[in-house]
Structures are given as C-alpha cells and as structure tokens.
C-alpha cells in the first residue's frame, strides 16, 4: 500500500534540526507558561515535547495547508492535557500562528484551551481530554482507513498514567483482533501520575510485556533521544501489515528544566517572571549538557 | 428481505432493525454496524457487508469510542446493543466522544424499562434521563416495531447523534398501519383522538395506554393517546395543543423512572410555557430496584400497569377545573 507524500518541498529534517525544533518547542512552552496567568500542564508537555517534534516534523504525513486531505495521517492526542504542546508543535509546522496561541490561550472564545476541541480548532483531529478515550477513537479511524483501502496511518499519543483506564485495553484488544497494522500508539512513559510516581501506588511493570501480551508489536525507545525516535518511525511495519505497534518512550516528566524534572509539584503550574528566567536558563544549561 | 406483517399482530422489532440496516447498507457505503456481542439480529448486515461490521466483544466503552472514530472519518456508525450498558457503562464515551463533537453515531438498543426479566442489572430505567441531559443528543423510544425501521431511515441524514430505545424487541404489537400516521422525528403521534384527557406515553406501554383508552371509552370517556416517541427535542406545540383540547388533563405513562423521563419533559414544557393544567399525574417506575417477574406483572406491582393507568385517567378526568 503506497502512501502519497503530503510533505511540501525539501528533504526531511536532520536529527540536529529536529533537536533544535524540540528546543524551540520547549522554549515556547515555557514562555506560554510565563505569560498565561493560569496553570499549564508543563510537566507532561515537556516529557512529550520530543515526541511531538518528531511526529509533526518527521513521522506524520500531513499538510498544514490541506487539513482535510483524506490521505493524511491521523493524529489522536489521547493525553489531552498536553494540548498546548500539540498546538505549538502544530504552529511550528505551519498549522496555526504561534502568536495566536500566546495571545489568546485560555481566554474567552479562544480556540486554544486546556484540552483540544476539534469543533473549535479545525486541524486538530478530535476532541479529547478525558483520559483513556483516545485509543478507541484511533481504532475507529484505523478501521475506517482499512475499510476504504486507504494507506495512511493513525497515530495516537497516550500518557502511561492513562493506561490505567480499562477502555485503553478494550481498544488494545480490538486493534489486535482487527489486525490494525496501520495503528501506531506512542506512550509517553514519564512514570508519573498527577499525585504519585508510577509503581508507588499503581504497578505498571512489566509494562512492555502487557502490550506484548495483547499482541502488539512493542518498540522501546528513549523518548528524548531524537535518533531513536526517528529510527522507530523508520522501522514501522507497513501500514497494511497485521499488528498494531506501540512505541514506548521512556521519558522524564518536566524534561529540560531541572527543578521541574521528576517533581510532582510541576504536573501543572505557571511561571512568574523570575521563575521563567530560571527555567529558560535551566533549559539552556540542559541543552549544553546534552550536546557535550 | 422485506418484513411482512399484519396490523395488530406481533412482530420482532429486532428483525426490522436487521433488515433495515441490511437494506441501508446498499444505499450508504459508509454505514457501519458495531456491537458489543449483541449481534444475533445483525447477521444479515454482517453477511452482506463483513468489512463494515464489527463485533468488539464485551467492551462497550471501546465500542462507542470506535464508533466515534469512524464517524470522525465520515462514516455513519450504528451501535447496537443492550441499553443498560450502552447508556451507563459507556455514558462518558457517548457524552464526550459522540455528543461533544456532535458526530452522527446512532445508538440503538433493547431492554428499555422493566422488561425481559433480567433483574435490575438488565433494566435500563434511567437511560432517558441520562440521554436527554446530553447536549446534541436526539432521544427516541419506540413501541411500534415497524416504526423503528422508519426512524433509522430518517436518522441517516441527521448531522448529530440519536438514541433509539426499544423494549425487548422480540415480539411487539404492530400499533399503526403504515401511512396511518406521519412519523417524523421530533413530532408526537396522536395514536388515538380524544377530548376528556390526554395520556402521553412512549415505547412498550403505548399499547397499554391504547388499551386503557379503549376501556374508558366503554364508560363514554374520550381519551386521547399521544405516542411521544421523541423525548428530545420534544413536541412542545402538541403538548400545548393537548392542554387546550383535552381540558388541561394530563396523564404521563412510561416504562422508565417516573422522574427524569417523559413526565419530567412534559412538566418542563408546562412550566416553561406557563400552560394551565387542571390535573397532572405521572405513572412510571418509583425509586426502587425492581425484582424479577414478567413485564406486565412488574408494571402492575410497581403501580403503572393497565389498572393503574385507567384509575389515574379517571382521576384526572374527575378533577375539579
């Protein structure tokens, strides 16, 4: 099943370019966290920033100027509280204006809110926010593609915490039963829930085995290593193969800002001017550390 | 296969659903049928369109979520199952995945009311209250087995979601001759004319209301019966008209909790439009988890059987203006 490329012009970005984009995404996230007066789910945004970057700039076959093209890959954000990270990643890809997000986020009548709404923001594939709902939606979209003989893929990003919802496993079983090789789930495995760490109160491990037991093709990557993310995308089985794939991305909640990393207090929050400066400095420092 | 029937005889609503969907599958190549292991009557569709039929097994939440995913991509999914589970276990998926983005998902199922003798786990008695609360949802409850085919047909061109409630659906009385009444979603059916009082009803107990009216006619009482098969949006004009034409004397009879279903919808219209009534009585399920028994036995036990309907109608007719 061949896939028509919707990418416009140029070669795909290099690993270095993707890393730069991820840095820019994190900077913009922190900036928004500093300008918006309410809380932003910054911890889970930062853990997923590399995944969003690689999906919107490398993995997803989408065209921001043709959002209803039936040949496009679908993206379902199951962890809807990372909406702002998706908005900014999409803006950087050309879907929306970044300024529009910053100027209106969370305000009355804005299309950009805490959880994404397709009705208010075309370009977003579906309305999510209640956890555990995304994978069933993605299964429906993958079935639709299969039924029509369309060659695109359906990608779904979940948080590990939300895989406590039974509906995720209902959908996992349906995906395997219907041999949906065109379905790819990414799990942001940041090992934190809102109020506790994974394994502390809820035992997730042996986590990859759970997905394998449901018959999925399981790929484990460092979710902050752009090369591994790219390789996982390059190695995806063909869309017309018969097993769904889950890419379990080992991540750090709050990644890139030392005082937010693995800190339950930064599930969601806002940054005052001094904290914003401190966060940006930390982000810069972490980048320098990574590049050594 | 076209369904054959005789007026007044018994017919399986489920067979009407099965044959209607199999027929519509030809006309609409984007029609999908999805079920959580309640597929016995869907065999005809499954055999004709295996690529658009899905049995997810016992997984109501995923069932409704998958339907929403299909609808996002331009398909028309019909979810068919048992209503106690579709309306409650999958309630959040119905509300958030289907109603919030206003997708054309049809939820059609059986076991609305104290029917089927399965006990309280298997009676959907809160479902209409829950579904009527959901923004964008159209809510129907069907008694006449042939009507369900017509409602499914009409719903094919609807933009948003619809809930279609049946009783057991294995053997239902044909109430109306085709063409006798205009069947239109959002419009009540005057199933029997009358001037002394109106019984508003829906679903499986429409037949009981008609029987009550027939009994009362023997005493010279003229009782109107309105099959208010669409609970939402409700036919406000018909309610106002019945108040004016039947002396403001209303009985509401339903196989649902007495509070939260049609009686509450009618009372809302009466209050909102400042309609003057002489008398109002509601007959439905009280706040109990009903036990086992035949459908009719349970209605009698819980105060909304035939005798109770006749008695209540007599009271509203006798009420001082």
**ipTM of the assembly?**
0.94
Summarize pLDDT for A195-227 with one digit per residue, the tens. Answer: 999 999 999 999 999 999 999 999 999 999 999
> Into which CATH architecture does domain B189-318 fall?
3-Layer(aba) Sandwich (3.40)
- pLDDT at position B1 over 80: no
Q: Is the CB of residue A141 less than 8 Å away from at least one CB of chain B?
A: yes
pLDDT at residue A11 in the model: 86
- pLDDT at position A1 over 60: no
Where along chain B do the CATH 3.40.50.920 domains lie?
Answer: 189-318
CB distance B69–A139 less than 8 Å? yes
Summarize pLDDT for B156-182 with one digit per residue, the tens. Answer: 999 999 999 999 989 888 999 888 899
Q: How far is CA B112 from CA B174, B213, B255, in A?
A: 18, 23, 7
pLDDT at residue B133 in the model: 98
Query: Which is more confident, A288 or A52?
Result: A52
Percent above pLDDT 70 for chain A: 97
| pLDDT tier, B221 (very low <50, low <70, confident <90, very high otherwise) | very high
Nearest CB to A143; choose among B57, B70, B96? B70
- pLDDT at position A8 over 80: no
Cα–Cα dist B169/B18, whole Å: 12
Where along chain B do the CATH 3.40.50.970 domains lie?
Answer: 10-173
Question: Distance, in angstroms, between A132 CA and closest chain B CA?
Answer: 10
Cβ-contact B194, B308 below 8 angstroms: no
Summarize pLDDT for A123-178 with one digit per residue, the tens. Answer: 999 999 999 999 999 999 999 999 999 999 999 999 999 999 999 999 999 999 99
Cis peptide leading into A206, omega within 30 of 0? yes
> Is A15-291 CATH 3.40.50.970?
yes
Handedness of CA B223, B226, B231, B237 (dihedral sign): negative
DSSP string, A117-158: -TTTSBTB-----STT-HHHHHHHHHHHHHHTT----EEEEE
Cα–Cα dist A224/A256, whole Å: 10
Average pLDDT for B225-254: 98
Q: Is the CB of residue A77 less than 8 Å away from at least one CB of chain B?
A: no
Q: Residue B189's beta-bridge partner residues?
A: B227
- pLDDT at position B41 over 90: no
pLDDT at residue A2 in the model: 40
CA of A147: which chain B residue's CA is closest?
A: B51
Q: Is the CB of residue A126 less than 8 Å away from at least one CB of chain B?
A: yes
Mean pLDDT of all residues belonging to chain A: 95
Residues of B in contact with A129 (CB under 8 A): 96
- pLDDT at position B82 over 70: yes
Average pLDDT for A20-24: 98
Nearest CB to A141; choose among B51, B69, B102? B69
Closest CA to B113 of B251, B312, B302: B302
* Structure tokens, A198: 């994974």
- pLDDT at position A272 over 90: yes
Cα–Cα dist A39/A51, whole Å: 22
Half-sphere exposure of B111 (CA within 13 A, CB side): 19
- CATH fold of B10-173 reads Rossmann fold (3.40.50)
- What are the domain boundaries of chain A? 15-291
Question: Distance, in angstroms, between B97 CA and closest chain A CA?
Answer: 7
Chain B residues 40-79 within an 8 A CB cutoff of chain A: 51-52, 54, 56-57, 59, 61-62, 64-75, 77
Question: Distance, in angstroms, between B265 CA and closest chain A CA?
Answer: 29
- pLDDT at position B209 over 60: yes
pLDDT at residue A169 in the model: 98
* Structure tokens, B260: 């939260």
Q: Is the CB of residue A137 less than 8 Å away from at least one CB of chain B?
A: yes
pLDDT at residue B8 in the model: 76
**Can you list the positions of beta strands (E) in chain A?**
74-77, 154-159, 183-189, 217-222, 245-250
């Amino acid at each position: 099943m061949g896939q028509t490329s919707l990418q416009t012009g140029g070669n795909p970005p290099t690993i270095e370019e993707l890393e730069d984009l991820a840095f820019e995404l994190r900077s913009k996230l922190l900036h928004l966290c500093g300008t918006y007066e309410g809380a932003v789910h910054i911890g889970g945004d930062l853990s997923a920033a590399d995944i969003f970057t690689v999906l919107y700039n490398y993995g997803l076959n989408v065209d921001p100027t043709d959002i209803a093209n039936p040949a496009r890959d679908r993206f379902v954000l199951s962890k809807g509280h990372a909406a702002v990270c998706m908005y900014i990643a999409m803006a950087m890809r050309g879907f929306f204006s970044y300024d529009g997000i910053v100027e209106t986020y969370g305000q009355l009548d804005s299309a950009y809110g805490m959880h994404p709404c397709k009705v208010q923001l075309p370009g977003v594939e579906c309305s999510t926010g209640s956890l555990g709902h995304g994978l069933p939606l993605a299964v429906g979209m993958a079935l639709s593609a299969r039924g029509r003989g369309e060659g695109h893929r359906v990608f779904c990003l979940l948080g590990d915490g939300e895989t406590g919802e039974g509906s995720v496993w209902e959908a996992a079983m349906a995906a395997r039963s219907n041999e949906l090789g065109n379905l790819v789930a990414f799990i942001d495995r940041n090992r934190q829930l809102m109020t506790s760490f994974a394994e502390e109160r809820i035992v997730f491990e042996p986590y990859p085995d759970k997905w394998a037991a449901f018959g999925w093709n399981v790929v484990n990557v460092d979710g902050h290593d752009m090369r591994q993310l790219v390789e996982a995308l390059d190695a995806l089985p063909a869309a017309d193969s018969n097993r769904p794939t889950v890419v379990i991305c080992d991540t750090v909640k709050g990644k890139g800002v030392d005082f937010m990393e693995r800190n339950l207090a930064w599930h969601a929050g806002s940054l005052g001017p001094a904290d914003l400066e401190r966060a940006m400095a930390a982000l810069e420092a972490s980048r320098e550390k990574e590049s050594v | 296969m076209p369904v054959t029937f005789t007026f007044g005889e018994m017919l399986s609503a489920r067979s009407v659903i099965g044959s209607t969907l199999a027929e519509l599958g030809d006309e609409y190549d984007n029609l999908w049928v999805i079920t959580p292991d309640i597929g016995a009557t869907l065999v005809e569709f499954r055999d004709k369109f295996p690529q658009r039929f899905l049995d997810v097994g016992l997984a109501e939440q995923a069932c409704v979520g998958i339907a929403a995913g299909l609808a996002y991509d331009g398909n028309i999914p019909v979810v068919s199952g048992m209503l106690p589970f579709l309306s409650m276990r999958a309630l959040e998926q119905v509300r958030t995945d289907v109603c919030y983005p206003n997708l054309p998902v049809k939820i059609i199922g059986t076991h609305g009311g104290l029917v089927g003798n399965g006990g309280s786990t298997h009676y959907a008695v809160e479902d209409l209250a829950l579904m009527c609360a959901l923004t964008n949802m159209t809510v129907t409850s069907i008694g006449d087995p042939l009507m369900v085919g017509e409602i499914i047909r009409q719903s094919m061109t609807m933009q948003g979601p619809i809930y279609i409630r049946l009783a057991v659906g294995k053997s239902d009385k044909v109430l109306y001759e085709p063409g006798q009444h205009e069947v239109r979603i959002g419009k009540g059916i005057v199933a029997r004319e009358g001037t002394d009082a109106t019984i508003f009803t829906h679903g499986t107990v429409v037949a009981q209301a008609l029987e009550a009216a027939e009994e009362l006619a023997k005493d010279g009482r003229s009782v109107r019966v309105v099959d208010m098969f669409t609970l939402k949006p409700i036919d406000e004009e018909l309610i106002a008209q019945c108040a004016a034409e039947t002396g403001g004397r209303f009985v509401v009879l339903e196989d649902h909790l007495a509070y939260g279903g049609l009686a509450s919808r009618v009372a809302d219209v009466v209050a909102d439009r400042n309609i003057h009534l002489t008398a109002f009585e509601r007959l439905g399920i009280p706040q109990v988890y009903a036990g086992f028994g035949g459908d009719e036995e349970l209605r009698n036990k819980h105060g909304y059987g035939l005798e109770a309907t006749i008695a209540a109608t007599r009271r509203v007719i006798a009420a001082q203006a």
